[in-house]
C-alpha cells in the first residue's frame, strides 16, 4: 500500500514539474502585504461608482474623484480590467444578504489576479447600495478593478472598488500606474505626458495599456 502511495506521489510531482517547466498556467500567489488600515477601508470600500465621464464633475467633486483614483492606484495590490459575468445573492439565517460578483480578469495592469475573482459585499457594508438592484448596470459590463488583499479572521479576502472602464477613467488610471512603475527621477516626464494627453484628444494610445 505504501509503495502504491509513493508511486502515485512521484507521478504527481513529475507531472506538476513538467507542467511548470513547459510554461503551463500557474495560480498567482495571493498574499496580504500589510495591515488593512482606515485609509485602505476608504479606498477599497466594496463598492461600484458609475462615473464614466469625470469631466462633468466640477470643483471639489472633481478633485475628490481624482484623489480617490490616485489613492486606489497607489495602495492597490492589483489593478485590472475585468468583466462581471455573474451576480449572486446569498442570505444567511438572520436574513442578511451578501452579494457576490464573479468577475473575469481580462487584462492586468498592476499586480497579479487569478483568471476569475469573486468580489463580495455584505448588507452591512457601505457599498452594498451601489450593487443591489443594479444588475443591468453591472452584468457583462467592463470595469477597472482596484483590489487590496486583507486578512479576515485568518482568511485572505479581496477588498475592492470598481470604476467604469470608460475612456477618461482608464486614461487617468494608466497614467497613474505608469507613474507608480517608474523611478522617482523619471516621474516628471510622466506628469508632462499626462497633461499633454489631456489636451491632445489622442486617447487611443493611452487606452492601449489596458
Q: Is 91 helix (H, G, I), strand (E, B) or coil?
A: strand
Read off the pLDDT of residues 39-88 as tens digits, 9 standing for 90 and up.
999 999 999 999 999 989 988 999 999 999 999 999 999 999 999 999 99
CA nearest to 83, candidates 99, 100, 108, 106: 106
Identify the helix (H) or strand (E) that includes residue 156: strand 155-164
The pTM (predicted TM-score) of the whole model is 0.77
CA nearest to 132, candidates 94, 165, 166, 98: 98
The C-alpha atoms of residue 46 and residue 117 are separated, in whole angstroms, by 13
Read off the pLDDT of residues 4-48 as tens digits, 9 standing for 90 and up.
333 333 333 333 332 333 434 457 778 898 999 999 999 999 999
Is the pLDDT score of 141 beyond 50? yes
Q: Is 195 helix (H, G, I), strand (E, B) or coil?
A: helix
Q: Which three cell numbers stand for residue 5?
A: 502511495
100 contact partners, CB below 8 Å, separation of at least 6: 86, 87, 88, 89, 90, 118, 119, 120
Q: Is 35 helix (H, G, I), strand (E, B) or coil?
A: coil
Amino acid at each position: 500500500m505504501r509503495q502504491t502511495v509513493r508511486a502515485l506521489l512521484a507521478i504527481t510531482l513529475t507531472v506538476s514539474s513538467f507542467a511548470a517547466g513547459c510554461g503551463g498556467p500557474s495560480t498567482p500567489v495571493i498574499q496580504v502585504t500589510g495591515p488593512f488600515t482606515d485609509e485602505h477601508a476608504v479606498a477599497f470600500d466594496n463598492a461600484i461608482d458609475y462615473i464614466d465621464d469625470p469631466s462633468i464633475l466640477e470643483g471639489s467633486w472633481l478633485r475628490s474623484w481624482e484623489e480617490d483614483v490616485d489613492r486606489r492606484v497607489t495602495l492597490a495590490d492589483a489593478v485590472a480590467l475585468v468583466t462581471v459575468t455573474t451576480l449572486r445573492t446569498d442570505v444567511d439565517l438572520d436574513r442578511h444578504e451578501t452579494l457576490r460578483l464573479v468577475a473575469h480578469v481580462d487584462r492586468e495592469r498592476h499586480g497579479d489576479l487569478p483568471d476569475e475573482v469573486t468580489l463580495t459585499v455584505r448588507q452591512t457594508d457601505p457599498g452594498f447600495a451601489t450593487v443591489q438592484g443594479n444588475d443591468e448596470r453591472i452584468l457583462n459590463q467592463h470595469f477597472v478593478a482596484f483590489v487590496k488583499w486583507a486578512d479576515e479572521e485568518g482568511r485572505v479576502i479581496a477588498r475592492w472598488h470598481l470604476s467604469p472602464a470608460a475612456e477618461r477613467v482608464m486614461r487617468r488610471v494608466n497614467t497613474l500606474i505608469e507613474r507608480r512603475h517608474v523611478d522617482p527621477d523619471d516621474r516628471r516626464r510622466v506628469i508632462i505626458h499626462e497633461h499633454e494627453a489631456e489636451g491632445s484628444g489622442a486617447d487611443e494610445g493611452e487606452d492601449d495599456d489596458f
